[in-house]
Amino acid sequence: MGGGPAELTVKSCATAEQCVTGSLNLGLLKINSKCCSTDLCNSNKAPALSLNGKKCYACADDDCTRTMNCEGDEDQCISARVSLGGVQMEMKGCASRSFCSSETSSMKAAGITGRVSCCEGDMCNSTEGVKLSLLIMLVPLISSILFI
C-alpha cells in the first residue's frame, strides 16, 4: 500500500435508498460512486475527480488538524465518529451534498455508522467549540497580565 490509499473498484446492485451518486473522502476511505437504473448500466468506471478549491480538516491517526483538498462535487466538510471492528474512530474529510443529505442506510452501505455531521464552508469541520472556549479563558488571563 505504501503511501496512499489503494484503489478498489466495486460494481454491484443496490436499493434506491442505498444508492448515492457523489463522492466521499475520509483519507483512508474514499468513495466515488455513480448510480444508474437500467440493466448492466454499471459497465463504465466512475468519473475521475479533480480538485475544486474547497478544503476540509482530515484525520490521520488521532490527529484531526490536517487539511484535505476536496475534489469533484465535494461541497461539504464531514465529521464522523465511526465504529470499525468495535474500535471507535474519529474521521473527517470532504463529501458531496448527496452523501450528507442521504438516508442513514446509504451511509451504512458506505461503511459509516455512528455520529455523522456535515457543514458548508472551508475548514468548517474543526473543533471550534474547544477553540472558542480556550479563547474565552485566555482573554481574562491576558487582560489581568496587562493590568498587573
98-143 per-position pLDDT tens digit: 888 765 545 565 556 677 889 999 999 987 544 443 444 444 444 4
Confidence band of 146 (pLDDT split at 50, 70, 90): very low
CB atoms within 10 A of CB 91: 20
Residues in the chain: 148
- Supply the pTM of this predicted model: 0.73
Instruction: Confirm whether 68 is domain-assigned.
Output: yes
Question: What is the domain count for the chain?
Answer: 1
The parent domain of residue 121 ranges over: 22-146
Give the model confidence (pLDDT) of 51-78 as tens digits: 999 999 999 878 999 999 999 999 999 9
CATH code (residue 26): 2.10.60.10
State residue 85's pLDDT score.
67
pLDDT at 96: 93
Q: Vertex 28, ends 26 and 33: CA angle to 5°?
A: 60
- The residue with greater pLDDT, 45 or 78, is 78
Q: What is the pLDDT of residue 137?
A: 44
Residue 2, domain member (yes or no): no
All cell numbers assigned to 112: 459509516
With a pLDDT cut of 90, the percent of the chain lying above it is: 28
13 found inside a domain:
no
Residue 9 belongs to some domain of the structure: no
Is residue 116 in a domain?
yes
Q: What is the pLDDT of residue 134?
A: 40
Q: Band of the pLDDT at 19, cuts 50, 70, 90? A: confident
Would residue 27 count as lying in a domain? Answer: yes
At residue 21 the predicted structure's pLDDT band, cuts being 50, 70 and 90, is: confident
pLDDT at residue 16 tops 70: yes
On whether residue 91 sits in a domain, the answer given is yes
Query: Does residue 56 fall inside a structural domain?
Result: yes
